[in-house]
Structure 1
Amino acid sequence: MSTQKCHGRVIASLVGCTALVLAVTGMSGTAQAHGRDAARRTLAANDGWASSGTGTTGGAAADADHVSTVTTWDEFQRALADGGTAPKIIKVRGTLDADGSTCADFAVDGYDFDQYLADYDPAVWGWDEDLEGQKKIPGTQEYLRNLSAAAQAKAIKATIPANTTIIGVGKDAGIVGGSLQITGVDNVIVRGLTMESPLDCFPQWDPTDGDTGNWNSEYDAAVVHGSTHVWLDHNTFTDGTHPDSTLPSYYGRIFQQHDGELDIVKGADLVTASWNVFEDHDKTLMIGNSDSAAATDEGKLRVTLHHNLFKNLVERAPRVRFGQVDAYNNSYVGNADYNYSFGIGYKSRLFAEKNSFTLPEGIGAGAILHRWNDYPLTAKGNVVNGVATDIIAAYNAANAAAPLQSGAGWTPTLRLRVDPAEAVGPIVARGAGATRLR
């Protein structure tokens, strides 16, 4: 075997040089294989579930009339609508402000938050009945809140058509306050965007949620709903300038204005999320949204997560129902708010291999898994604070009364490369996120 120099290092063969370049830059095999125009790159063969079958090409085949550069939210919405499902490429330059209006601009006549708080104060309303019935009664504050929420939803949701590539260009490409709706379509690519989670102006109070009630919000930064062949790559999902620590409290509960950063739900299938950053959030990534969704979710929700950075999160990285989820070579960096990473839900089949966990003092490896339902998973080759750790055994040692089973019953095959777990932290730190797109 011949040797050669690659960026100052002597290594064996051209293949070795390519592998080193990919490890340093965070570029996937796609970047190597598809020319210089990042906007026309397609997902490489064998790069996770989204490469299965017909693969994921997005708008790579777009003609010149369907390649556009947008600098405002309105331009973005028009570009999405132009040409129907014909292949299209939308380049996002700068930051698109989806919620430039104030919350007062969305509120319908008669809605008054102070009155809402007075009407549904648990001291008045109690804890035993939710507000769904109020939503149907014209003139009630819950009815008016719901109408106001619908006005905000219309303004900030963007419907992504089939055969579309959305890609950020420049250092500050992104979306503030918008929600990408990838719903009921096939073949979508989203790359190189910083997406700041939308703030729900009109969360709903539910006194029956938990022992002391909760505020529930809408709007994920991105939703994959009933869609197939979706590739999300080199994006940054963040709460940005509005972390939960800045939110007020009412009725003794945080006025939660954030939902998820990314949800993959309701029959979605064949999704690859690679080299993304998910940071500074509570309920981050949900795969499957209901235990009762067997009719839509059984045999679907097949998702690959690799080389993503999950940083300063509370939970759901991901929480899984039904799906065969391959989570490998991800870096998890926790802080004092850390609750868990992998949520094991109804009929989930998680395969977690060679991930790196960096947990703060006082939080042990037994916290990495959370059991919602007793379904088996495979976990192998993972490291916790640099030490090889059986995370199932660690969980079971801390939760002897409700253990988890080992053995997901399947083995992933759609992988380009698997890095040693000990190297994942620095590799992902150098390569993940919107600013690392090449």
Structure 2
Amino acid sequence: MKRRNALRLHAVLVTTGVAGIAAAVLTGLPSPDASAATGAATGYAAQNGGTTGGAGGTTVRATTGTQIHAALCGRAAGDTPIVIEVEGTINHGNTTKVSGGSCNTAADRIELKEISNVTIVGVGAGATFDQLGIHIRDSSNIILQNLTVRNVKKSGSPLSNGGDAISMESSVRNVWADHLTLEASGGESEGYDGLFDMKDDTQFVTLSYSTLSNSGRGGLIGSSETDTGNSFITFHHNLYSNIDSRVPLLRGGVAHIYNNSYVSLNESGINSRAGAKALVENNHFKNSKDVLGTFYTSATGYWQARGNVLDNVTWSATSAENRPAGPAMTSTTTVSVPYTYTLDGADCVPSIVSRTAGANKGLKVSTGGCATTAPVTSAPVPVPSVTSAAPVPSGTSAAPATSAPAPGGTNLSLGAGADGSSKASGSSYGNVRDGNTATQWSPNGATGSVSVKWGVATTVSRVVVRPGTIGTIGAWQLINGDTGAVLRSGTGAGTITFPATAVKKLTFAVTGATGTPSVSELETYAS
């Protein structure tokens, strides 16, 4: 099947008539340098059904921006999984707009708009996006890995992406940005804006093992004091160097910021405002000013700080619009996260980050305890290890639900709403709550999620997953769609029990399968 998909996509690329597209190399084999299976999404990107990018889809090699756009436009649909391996320098000279039913591209940026299930990964000698930003809009399940993006301008010439190296906006979900090098050559007066910006309903994002340097602005979450619907963002094992401010700037929402190395924050650091809540732990701050607090506004934000190291950090006096957290770094709230993670000691964070963060570092990661290792390069589709405040019990692996009667009581799914991450041709999300086992839902690929949702909070403690007629469900997670917390995880279809939980949305995420899995009914019960 993968070979047929590759041939079909190759034909689309060749017939587009855009110069240089036919030179793209398509392959179903992983690159020796990096692949979509390298590592697994961590932090909040592993929530809400997880972030797997183009895993299981066709692999395409691209050396120009036009070829990247052509690969997106050559898919069967906007959610058809694809891995785009990039090598060389991508710039304005080799990037054009490409049209198609599965894409919405632009000439002045790499445009990931109204699409899902995409991985863009640097391979070989490396991938550099020179003066050309990456824009993610109205999209989900995106992985960006092992890439360099530099000197993107919003004024002067050439212009790209509003001056942001990477930006996300307008209903973006589940983005994992990993082992990136993001850099500018000055601040706003020199024509640059943010290195990593999120706004207008962006959620479940992780930035990990990346370097951000030589910029006036590191990045923001929320474009104004009223744009507070962006949330569930994780930053870990990143290096911020020679940045004036915004590392990040948070407006509303929840962020988890741990094991980052900050050097030369010139004006201010983590700026929590407009009701934002940040868990800031085991970071290392050196030669910096006002590394945490609420700055340049009267709209207060909050933080929980623990285990951080301050090396030559200075603090401003408190005023109406500047409330530094230091020198005592006293917490003003408490923040809990719904996943497990391993902390490195703050003392060794600079060493760990220098060995792991950035593009072309071999995709090495921390193993905790101040040690590093290279990730497995041929791992299967990962199943994130996640817990809520208390350890999550193992999921129930029951006999197929079709061979066991449903539990007593009313099936709460009947008459409820439904949505999901993707759906194969001929299937529908609503088929899982119509009471008819002859209809079914399948994702567009080997993994995906389907949800049952209600207009008001509904208490559920038991779910019956009835398999469809194709594929076999392997690993799965049952997720509280309101919070992203994993209620249970396990393998196979059957009956799942868990502590009674009031939810408006309950998501069943298939993270591993044989073939294309299918679900005929997702029944929910109060007891």
Partner residue in 1 for 2:383 = none
Would you say the 8 A contact 2:254–2:276 is kept in 1?
Answer: yes
Equivalent residue runs for 1:284-323 within 5 Å = 284-294=218-228, 297=229, 300-323=230-253
Structure 2 segments unaligned to the other structure (5+ residues): 1-29, 96-105, 364-527
Name the aligned partner's letter for residue 346 of structure 1.
Answer: A
> How many Å apart are 1:157 and its aligned residue?
4.2
Q: CA deviation at 1:416?
A: 2.6
CA distance in 2, matches of 1:54, 1:340: 35
8 A Cα contact 1:43 1:56, kept in partner? no
Match of 1:198 in 2: 152
Q: How does 1:29-44 map to 2 (within 5 A)?
A: 38-41=34-37, 44=40
| SS class of match (2:360) | helix
Change (3 A) 1:429 1:59: same
* CA shift for structure 1 position 384: 1.2
Q: Using the alignment, how far apart are the partners of 2:194 and 2:116 within structure 1?
A: 23
Question: Aligned match of 1:378 in 292, 299, 304?
Answer: 304
Q: CA deviation at 1:322?
A: 0.9
One-letter amino acid matched to 2:82: K
Aligned-residue RMSD, C-alpha: 2.9
- Match for 1:50: what amino acid? A
**Is 1:94 the counterpart of 2:84 in the alignment?**
no
Structure 1 residues 212-266: Cα deviation after superposition (integer angstroms, max 9, x where no partner): xxxxx92311112121111000000012xxx128xxxxxxxx7441111110111
More relative contact order in 1 or in 2 (CA 8 Å, sep 6+)?
1
Query: Are residues 1:235 and 2:159 paired?
Result: no
Residue 419 of structure 1: SS of its match in structure 2?
coil
The TM-score normalised by the length of structure 1 is 0.65
> How many residues get paired?
311
Q: In structure 2, what is the Cα distance between the partners aligned to 1:42 and 1:301?
A: 26
The whole-number CA distance in structure 2 between the counterparts of 1:76 and 1:56 is 20
Corresponding residue of 1:158: 111
Percent of aligned pairs with the same amino acid? 28
Partner of 2:318: 399
Whether the aligned pair in 2 keeps the contact of 1:354 and 1:382 (CA below 8 Å) is: yes
Distance of 1:173 and 1:286 partners within structure 2: 25
1:349 maps onto 2:277 in alignment: yes
1:77: how far off?
Answer: 1.6
* Partner Cα distance (1:311, 1:284) in 2: 9
Give 1:408's aligned residue. 333
1:369 to 2:303 alignment: no
Residue number in structure 2 paired with 1:281: 215
User: Separation in 2 of the partners of 1:256 and 1:37?
Assistant: 35
Question: Take 1:99 and 1:238, find their aligned partners in 2: how far apart are those partners?
Answer: 20
Taking the aligned partners of 2:241 and 2:309, their CA distance within structure 1 comes to 16
Superposed CA deviations along residues 136-189 of structure 1, whole A, max 9, x for unmatched, are xxxxxxxxxxxxxxxxx7433422531000000023312112221111111000
User: In the TM superposition, what is the alpha-carbon distance from 1:272 to its structure 2 partner?
Assistant: 0.7
User: How far is the alpha carbon of 1:409 from its aligned partner?
Assistant: 3.5
Distance in 2, matches of 1:310 and 1:415, equals 24
Alpha-carbon distance in 2 for matches of 1:432, 1:289: 27
Letter of the structure 2 residue corresponding to residue 221 of structure 1: A
| Compared CA separation, residues 51 and 36, structure 1 to 2 (3 A) | farther
- CA–CA separation in structure 1 for the residues paired with 2:126 and 2:120: 15
Q: Is the 8 A contact 2:277 2:302 kept in 1?
A: yes
Give TM-score scaled by structure 2 length. Answer: 0.54
Cα distance in structure 1, aligned partners of 2:253 and 2:177? 18
Aligned mates of 1:78, 1:309 — CA distance in 2: 33
- Residues 14-163 of structure 1 correspond to what in structure 2 (within 5 A)? 38-41=34-37, 44=40, 47-62=42-57, 66-83=58-75, 84-98=78-92, 154-159=107-112, 161-163=115-117
Match of 1:339 in 2: 267
**Shift of residue 436 of structure 1?**
1.1
Q: Which has the higher helix share?
A: 1
Give the AA of the match of 1:159.
Answer: L
SS of 1:40's equivalent in the other structure is coil
Partner-residue secondary structure (3-state), 2:108? helix
- Which residue of structure 2 aligns with residue 221 of structure 1? 165
1:352 maps to a residue whose letter is: V
Deviations 1:76-124 (CA, angstroms, capped at 9, x unpaired): 22112221320000000111113579xxxxxxxxxxxxxxxxxxxxxxx
Distance in 2 of aligned mates of 1:272 and 1:171: 25
Q: Which secondary structure does the structure 2 equivalent of 1:429 belong to?
A: helix
- The answer to whether the aligner puts 1:358 opposite 2:286 as a matched pair is yes
Counterpart residue type for residue 93 of structure 1: E
Q: CA, structure 1 residues 224+267, in 2 after alignment: closer, same or farther (shift >3 Å)?
A: same
* Structure 2 CA distance for aligned equivalents of residues 199 and 384 of structure 1: 33
CA-CA distance at 1:42 after TM superposition? 6.6
AA of the residue aligned to 2:305: A
